[in-house]
Amino acid sequence: MKNSPSPLVYLSICSAVFLWGFSFIWTNSLLQQNFPVFSLVFFRMSFAAVILLTVSILARKLQKISKKDWGWFFLLVTLEPFIYFIGETFGLKIVNSPTLGAIIISTIPIFALIAGRVFYSEKITGFNIFGIGITLPGILLVVFEKGGLQFSHTIGILLLFIAVFAAVGYSVVVKQLAFKYNSYTIVTYQHLMGALFFLPLFIYFDYSTFSIENLSNMAILKPLLFLAALCSSLAFILFINSIKSLGVARTNIFTTLVPVVSAFGAFILGEEGLTIRKIIGIVIVVAGVIIAQRQK
């Protein structure tokens, strides 16, 4: 009989979810201080790349990439972090709501079900379809909480959904690469190449007005380091370790709790209110995503 996963495994995935939930709060904090978007993503990628490269080398997990696979890695990084972080960061900057951002990003597992069916012929059950159906009203409850949206708000939501579809495409590509490379290798090269992708944008848009003194400001440096060290590095390591014991489907179920962490975290920090309508919307979305991942 196969042994049940240890409590440490559940602690790992819950810790990863907790960190990812706060990533929206830390990102929103930097944006509210008018920290440039491309600077934010570039330094987050760069700091995370250094951390992940160090960990992967010390753990002897870094594999050599075959020449024929560089095209796949290029596509991988184009989707995430490049398109994903542009959509997420600019979208979050416009909507100015960590909860709303987390709610929309939490629909990734739903659209990933469809992509899995199309690209890998994965089975979709009645639970999956039902879960997708009830999730959409939950999103609308949060989005239309105040009865309507400004045009700029709508653009922000559109950008967040672009991030969602980029993440789904990333999942399709990463599954292809996972047959040959371990997770440490994929994630490390993802951040190394991601930093290189954002370097030209940082130089073109932000370098002329950027001051290194910005990084000496603890109100900026702390959330930036939290994003790089905790959300882009530690959380991925914890997530990967959890997948080994729980599997992909069972591990991803826990990620549906990310918007809950973001909502309550923003509420506790006094950054955002938590109304009954928003709570109902969050509960519906989380329930829908969980149901959508059930196989039987």
Cβ pair 202, 39 in contact under 8 A: yes
Does residue 56 belong to any structural domain of this protein?
A: yes
Locus of tokens 């960590």: 98
Highest mean pLDDT among 9-13, 82-86, 95-99 belongs to: 82-86
Q: What angle do CA 248, 106, 257 make, to 5 degrees?
A: 75
Does residue 8 belong to any structural domain of this protein?
A: no
Distance in angstroms (rounded) separating the CA atoms of residues 162 and 82 = 11
Distance in angstroms (rounded) separating the CA atoms of residues 189 and 294 = 32
How many separate domains does the chain show? 1
Does residue 164 belong to any structural domain of this protein?
A: yes
Percent helix, percent strand, percent coil in the chain, to nearest 5: 80, 0, 20
Distance in angstroms (rounded) separating the CA atoms of residues 261 and 2 = 32
**139 vs 28 pLDDT, higher one:** 28
Q: What is 188-248 written as a DSSP string?
A: HHHHHHHHHHHHHHIIIIITTT--GGGGG-HHHHHHHHIIIIIIIIIHHHHHHHHHHHH-H
Query: Per-residue pLDDT tens for 92-151?
Result: 888 888 777 877 887 877 787 788 778 877 677 787 778 777 877 887 777 666 555 555
Does residue 279 belong to any structural domain of this protein?
A: yes
Does residue 4 belong to any structural domain of this protein?
A: no
Contacts of 212 (CB under 8 A, 6+ apart): none
Please state the rounded mean pLDDT for residues 13-18: 89
Supply the pLDDT for residue 78: 96
Does residue 9 belong to any structural domain of this protein?
A: no
| Domain range enclosing 187 | 14-292
Does residue 2 belong to any structural domain of this protein?
A: no
SS3 38: helix
- Phi/psi for 108 (5° steps) reads -55, -45
Residue 263, pLDDT > 70, answer yes
Distance in angstroms (rounded) separating the CA atoms of residues 106 and 101 = 9
Does residue 7 belong to any structural domain of this protein?
A: no
